[in-house]
Amino acid sequence: MTQSKSSDSPEASAEGSFGEILSEFEQAHHTEGQRVEGTVVSVTPELVFIDIGRKMDGVLPRDPAQEWKTGAKLLVSIRGRDEQGNYLLSTVRVETPRDWSGLEAAYANKRTIAGTVLEVVKGGLRVDVGVRAFMPASRSGIRELAEMEKLVGQEIECRITKLDTATEDVVVDRRVVLEERERAAREEAFARIEEGALVRGTVRSLTDFGAFVDLGGVDGLLHVSDMSYSRALKPGDVVSVGESIEVKVLKINREARKIALGLKQLNPDPWTAAAEKYSQGARVKGKVARVADFGAFVELEPGVEGLIHVSEMSWSKKNVKPADILKTGEVVEVVVLGVNAADRRIALGLKQTLGDPWEDVLRKYPVGAVVEAPVTSLAKFGAFVDLGDGIEGMIHIGDISREKRLNHPNEALKVGEKVRAQVLEIDRERRRLRLGIKQLEPTSIDEYIGEHQTGEVVSGRLADVSAGRAKVELGEGVFAQCKLPEPRQEDAASTSGTDLSTLTAMLQQKWKSGGGNVAVSDSPRVGQIRSFRILSLDPGQKKIELELI
């Protein structure tokens, strides 16, 4: 009886090994051209090793233009095996014609075929597409010669543009395939993008008005106004070429094939909280962003600017030039005067941080006070003087001189001249201080007050009598006030008809002698010459108070 061979005998092992090798050989030939999904396991400068679920890995020539990452999955075609037993792979999805009839069919139908780049020749590349074909450098899809050399040994997709079977002249074009694929990718990418979506892209180029961002086959425009809420920025201050950024799709014009992108829209608008953050009267600091003829813009925070109008820069200076007070980039403290969040406007004040000199005007320059100040300018209606600290006083032309009527202030004053004047009126709301020069010139009442004393008895003529008070003429142009006693019921003789010359002579005689009353009745009447006692003399107010005796 013949004994069967044991499964672990040397003969059995040899037969098993041979069977496995035969099986793998048949499997390799039967799967040639099969497409499978593989996983990148390692990358070298020249090759990419891919696990395709077999005992041996597959190898793929490395395309320098493509980014390879370990663990990435991709579809590949099995083209055969190399001497080490590795599977030769390709990402090309088309096949290579096997004879001239296949080439003729591909040429007639403008079908894309596969080919292997053999070498670089003068003017282009030699490609194996079943026969040797020529590909012009301009149709390779590569501009630089060094890059063309990297195609040698790689499998590419191309299209036959010339076929002459008699001379065996075949010309192929790779660029047309790449351009078609690129257009298809753009169409797919464009159709996939939706308004409002957040997408990631790569900054492809910068311009003065923004940046073009590659969204994966289709470009979108990121305008400079949508880069940041801050103003006066250049695109290069926000993004750089090659940078990967996340943006928001603001608008898509599918007819014009334009995509508008936004970067600042990924962050909250700072103006939403501006009204609460910058309340009226608050003191804040900011940086001068730019200076104009009408004022200066101050950045309070990125995206929020306020305007200091030229009128809010100085209390004292007129015809202010903003550039003389503030410089771009300077940090200043300002006061918030008003906020209009709807119109994105904030009114700021610079002079308010320095203190208002008009706060002390009433204390420093009360009505009746005498000041000394230089004349700063002359106008037809009067003169302006500088009292310091931004306070300016105005002397009306009618308050300059008592001696004569002036046609223009320059008849009595000149710019730069120091003058003494009296404060006549203060209008704080309108910030006006009215002064007078003639009010400091001595008058007849000033001389009278200087020559008399309180308690002295004098004579005077009753110029007006009404409601228990009388106006008394003490001399030419000198009048005083007198409170009258209750009138008596006696019928006194009236002196109202006395001749004016007689009254004047009597009044002058009484002023000189200080004698008694001329009137025969105690009842005060206009025109009477009576005796009075001086109760008060006020040189500042030019007032004299009397009592009848």
What is the DSSP annotation of 334-394?
Answer: EEEEEEETTTTEEEEESGGGG--GGGGHHHHS-TT-EEEEEEEEEETTEEEEEEETTEEEE
Q: Can you give the pLDDT at residue 508?
A: 56
What average pLDDT does this structure show over 12-20?
Answer: 47
Greatest pairwise CA separation for the chain in angstroms: 189
Q: What is the pLDDT of residue 505?
A: 54
Q: How far is CA 97 from the centre of its chain?
A: 65
So what's the pLDDT on residue 495? 43
In the predicted structure, residue 95 carries a pLDDT above the cut 60: yes
> If you average pLDDT over residues 391-420, what whole number do you get?
91
Inter-residue contact 433 to 394 (CB < 8 Å): yes
Model pLDDT, residue 506: 54
pLDDT confidence of residue 252:
94
What is the four-CA torsion angle of 275, 280, 286, 288, rounded to 10 degrees?
A: 100
Q: How confident is the model at residue 489 (pLDDT cuts 50, 70, 90)?
A: low
Tokens of 213: 């961002």
Plot region of 30 (φ>0 → left; ψ -120 to 50 → alpha; else → beta): alpha
Cα distance between residue 243 and residue 236, in whole Å:
11
Average pLDDT over all residues of the chain: 84
For residues 256-267, give the mean pLDDT: 92
Q: Taking the chain, what is the end-to-end CA distance rounded to the nearest angstrom? A: 179
- Joined tokens for residue 312: 């809010």
Share above pLDDT 90 across residues of the chain, in percent, rounded to a whole number: 48
* Cβ neighbours of residue 154 closer than 8 Å, sequence gap 6 or more: 61, 63, 116, 117
The partner residues of 533 in beta bridges, in order of sequence, read 457, 547
Which of residues 8 and 508 earns the better pLDDT score? 508
- Amino acid 268: pLDDT: 84
What is the 8-class DSSP label of residue 528?
-
The 3-state DSSP class for residue 224 equals helix
Which tokens go with 111? 């079908």
Q: What is the pLDDT of residue 87?
A: 84
Number of alpha carbons in the 13 Å side-chain half-sphere of residue 257: 10
**Residues 243, 313 contacting (CB under 8 angstroms):** no
pLDDT at 33 over 70: no
pLDDT band at 6 (very low <50, low <70, confident <90, very high): very low
Q: Which residues contact 79 (CB under 8 A, 6 or more apart)?
A: 32, 33, 88, 89, 90, 155
pLDDT exceeds cutoff 90 at 45: no
Region 478-487 average pLDDT: 87
**What's the pLDDT band for 496 if we cut at 50, 70, 90?**
very low
Tokens of 130: 């079943």
Q: What is the pLDDT of residue 501?
A: 54
Higher pLDDT, 72 or 472: 472
Higher confidence at residue 99 or residue 94?
99
Amino acid 55: pLDDT: 84
Going by pLDDT thresholds of 50, 70 and 90, the confidence category of residue 82 is confident
Residue (of 277, 205, 287) closest to 239 by Cα position = 205
pLDDT band at 90 (very low <50, low <70, confident <90, very high): confident
Contact assessment for residue 549 and residue 517, using Cβ atoms and an 8 Å cutoff: no
Q: Where are the alpha helices (DSSP H) in 114-174?
A: 145-149
Tokens of 178: 């790449």
**Range in 74-88, 149-163, 437-451 the model is least confident about:** 74-88
What's the pLDDT at 287? 93
In this prediction, residue 362 carries a pLDDT of 81
Q: What is the mean pLDDT of residues 298-317?
A: 88
**Residue 386: pLDDT above 80?**
yes
Residue 127 has pLDDT above 50, yes or no: yes
pLDDT higher at 521 or 273 = 273
For the whole model, what pTM was predicted? 0.46
Alpha-carbon distance of 429 to 548, in angstroms, equals: 44
User: How far is the C-alpha of 32 from the C-alpha of 177, rounded, in Å?
Assistant: 24
Closest among 544, 542, 538, 519 to 462, alpha carbons compared: 519
Inform me whether the pLDDT recorded for 30 exceeds 80. no
Task: Identify which has the larger pLDDT, 152 or 515.
Answer: 152
For the segment 193-223, what is each residue's pLDDT rounded down to a tens digit?
Answer: 899 999 999 999 999 999 999 987 789 999 9
Closest CA relative to residue 267, chosen from 304, 241, 240, 307: 304
Residue type, 466: S
- Cα distances (angstroms) measured from residue 428 to each of 59, 212, 277, 380: 92, 59, 32, 24
d(CA 268, CA 466): 77
Question: Token pair for residue 354?
Answer: 């320095």
Domains observed in the chain = 36-91 (2.40.50.140), 100-180 (2.40.50.140), 193-266 (2.40.50.140), 271-352 (2.40.50.140), 357-440 (2.40.50.140), 444-548 (2.40.50.140)
Residues in the chain: 549
Give the mean model confidence (pLDDT) for residues 371-375. Answer: 94
**Which has the closest alpha carbon to 329: 237, 235, 224, 232?**
232
CB 503 within 8 A of CB 477: no
Distance CA 26, CA 29 (A): 5
Q: DSSP secondary-structure letter at 496?
A: T
Rounded Cα distance between 495 and 519, Å, is 7
The single-letter code of the amino acid at 156 is I
> What is the pLDDT averaged over residues 242-261?
93
Task: Tell me how far apart the alpha carbons of residues 83 and 541 are, in angstroms, rounded to a whole number.
Answer: 124
Please give the pLDDT value at position 469: 92
- In whole angstroms, give the CA distance from residue 467 to residue 217: 102
- Mean pLDDT calculated for residue range 152-164: 92
Q: Which helix (H) or strand (E) holds 434?
A: strand 432-436
Answer whether residue 537 shows pLDDT above 60.
yes
DSSP bridge pairs for 292: 295
